[in-house]
Amino acid sequence: MFRPLTRAWRGLLPSKALLSMRGTSRGARGNTNPINKVAVVTGSTNGIGFAIARRLAQDGAHVVVSSRKQENVDQAVATLQGEGLSVTGTMCHVGKAEDRERLVATAVKLHGGVDILISNAAVNPFFGNLIDVTEEVWDKILDINVKATALLTKAVVPEMAKRGGGSIVIVSSVAAYSPFPSLGAYNVSKTALLGLTKNLAIELAQWNVRVNCLAPGLMKTSFSRMLWENQEREESIKAAMLIKRIGKPEDCAGIVSFLCSEDANYITGETVVVAGGVLSHL
């Protein structure tokens, strides 16, 4: 029976033998990773977005990272370029039309187009009862978490169509299915993204643009710190999971790279839940 090489065996094999085996395992299909594809990733200077940007670049894509603060962009780019990855970046507040336009224009100017969009930027400015959410907070959450994703998609689709198609992954949350306590408006916005994915997949198929959705569970990021930094609360959360740990951003990255690869070229309109076995049904 064939078993993947362990690191110990890899160390015993000469580099030429490893290259030969890798080529054989790919067979006639060739490499199906997003080699030389141009990927734009929003909210990608830390957490899940950063892990996705790193993985796409590791798998051969030219990645444009972005976030609201230039210093965060500069730090992320320096880190990933220091790892030998093809990464550039620009500041982008996804709620601002001029920033969205600049983000797409940057990718086109540097790399000639856009093949992949990962819409990950999100906000949650309120923690409390849903009934207490103000109109101002509703506007901010829906503008950034839902409307900006739709408008950024609108901006990239013409560039994807020029290149014969593309792949869009919208980052939702398992909270779309199983709401997080005291995050009602955020939960609602993430549920809306499931519907946005379905609708966009139907409309964009004519241009060979696939649209899928990632629904992460609770991940150890600064964004979700309020949910897991209390040890008692963390233990309670882990007890509800089949996989008894809180996720890491890297747990999301591989599935996104897959969804953007040719291996997934018959998948569109779907949501993949990466949540350690948390119940995920509407």
Relative orientation angle of helices 184-204 and 135-142, to the nearest 10 degrees: 40
Single-letter amino acid code for the residue at 171: V
How is the beta sheet containing 209-216 ordered, strand by strand? Answer: 87-91, 62-67, 38-41, 116-119, 166-171, 209-216, 271-274
**DSSP SS3 for 127:** coil
Answer whether 42's CB lies under 8 Å from 92's CB: yes
Cα 164 to Cα 37: distance, rounded to the nearest angstrom = 12
Cα 275 to Cα 175: distance, rounded to the nearest angstrom = 10
Q: Distance of CA 119 to CAs 6, 76, 101, 168, 179, Å?
A: 35, 17, 14, 8, 21
Token readout for 105 is: 């224009």
Token pair 């233990």 is at which residue? 235
Answer whether 31's CB lies under 8 Å from 60's CB: yes
Nearest in space to 57 (alpha carbons), one of 122, 121, 116: 116
Single-letter amino acid code for the residue at 120: N
Give the up-direction half-sphere exposure of residue 223: CA atoms within 13 A in the CB hemisphere: 22
Cα 55 to Cα 252: distance, rounded to the nearest angstrom = 10
Q: Give the active site residues.
A: 186
